[in-house]
Amino acid sequence: MHIQNNNPLVFVDNCFDRLALRRVDEKWITAQLSDPATRFVPVAGEDNLLTANGTPLLLDTSAVAQWRAQSQCTVLLGEYRGCVCFALGLNQDVTLPAGAARSNLRPQFGVLEDDALALLGYARAMTHWHAHNRFCGKCGAPTRSQRAGHELHCTACGNIVYPRVNPAVIMLVTHGERCLLGRQPEWAANRFSTLAGFVEPGENLENALRREILEETNVRVGRVRYLRSQPWPYPASLMLSFRAEAESAGIRCNDGELVEARWFSRQEIATGLQAGSLSLSLPGSSSHALIREWFEEVPGFVLASAADAR
């Protein structure tokens, strides 16, 4: 899938080959783990690591040797910029090499290259999954990594755990010429975003979306239209973007997830952004892309993009 340059979403893995068929080739994996050309992407607990220059910290086999005792998992990621790469899951409190820094990836949107963000996000998602599945959920025995880190097998009952992705719907709800944005309690007072929520078992995407909007704002939604998806490694979501048309406009925040929800016209968004009384989600996020494409459907309205921020 090609994401248009004028509407980029971060974390989309257009830029590397996952080498999925190699995961079962244990001889090849062993050879790659000692090959001087191989690179390791360390993740310290919840944090990605960057060099002093702000680029992704990539280690070779000799640099990794000293981390072995603190390493919790090694996962084949694929080929990135001509190098075979593995994620290396480390303890949260590991001592970093000189100059290296911990980083959440959000402040790196529009700073790091798209392929670097996709690689680091993928590494974080896989090491997070390993760290949270060290024991079998069925019998409680330790699990063992298989298929180059892409399966965890229970050492006692044979249960196999696969990397989990949690589907979440994220939607721009419109009513006439206005769109519905909400604010979560922990956000800054001027920050608003599209509504979003996790899909529950036994529910399709369309109904998850309608339920979430009704729960959060009491607005009833009719027609919905799927647009695109985005991997989101905080910690393991797949964001599924929709446009939705409201059939009612009265707002009441029902479930406590939002402290405020409002209908915004394009002019209110333009004025709020200019005055600094409104801020939106980061360029590169599904929320930003949803708002931007609706906003720009009317000539004369243009929102900054991730590409502009570079």
Q: Which residues bind Zn ion (CB under 5 A)?
A: 136, 138-139, 141, 154, 156-157, 159
Shortest distance in whole angstroms from residue 155 CB to Zn ion: 8
CB 115 within 8 A of CB 81: yes
Of residues 144 and 225, the one with the C-beta less far from Zn ion: 144
Of residues 99 and 142, the one with the C-beta less far from Zn ion: 142
Of residues 142 and 222, the one with the C-beta less far from Zn ion: 142
Q: Give the separation between CA 32 and CA 38, rounded to whole angstroms.
A: 6
Shortest distance in whole angstroms from residue 139 CB to Zn ion: 3
Strand partners, 178: 175, 265
Shortest distance in whole angstroms from residue 158 CB to Zn ion: 7
Shortest distance in whole angstroms from residue 66 CB to Zn ion: 33
Q: Give the separation between CA 141 and CA 135, rounded to whole angstroms.
A: 5
Shortest distance in whole angstroms from residue 169 CB to Zn ion: 33
Quote the tokens at residue 182. Answer: 């909400």
Strand positions, DSSP E, 194-233:
195-198, 221-232
Q: How far is CA 275 from CA 117, 225, 228, 268, 281, in A?
A: 31, 32, 31, 10, 17
DSSP 45: T
Cis peptide before 235 (omega within 30 of 0): yes
Strand partners, 87: 41, 75
Of residues 10 and 136, the one with the C-beta less far from Zn ion: 136
Residue 264: which region, alpha, beta or left (left: phi > 0; alpha: psi -120 to 50)?
A: beta
Of the candidates 74, 215, 88, the residue with the CA atom closest to the CA atom of residue 145: 74
Of residues 155 and 174, the one with the C-beta less far from Zn ion: 155
Shortest distance in whole angstroms from residue 153 CB to Zn ion: 9
Of residues 157 and 307, the one with the C-beta less far from Zn ion: 157
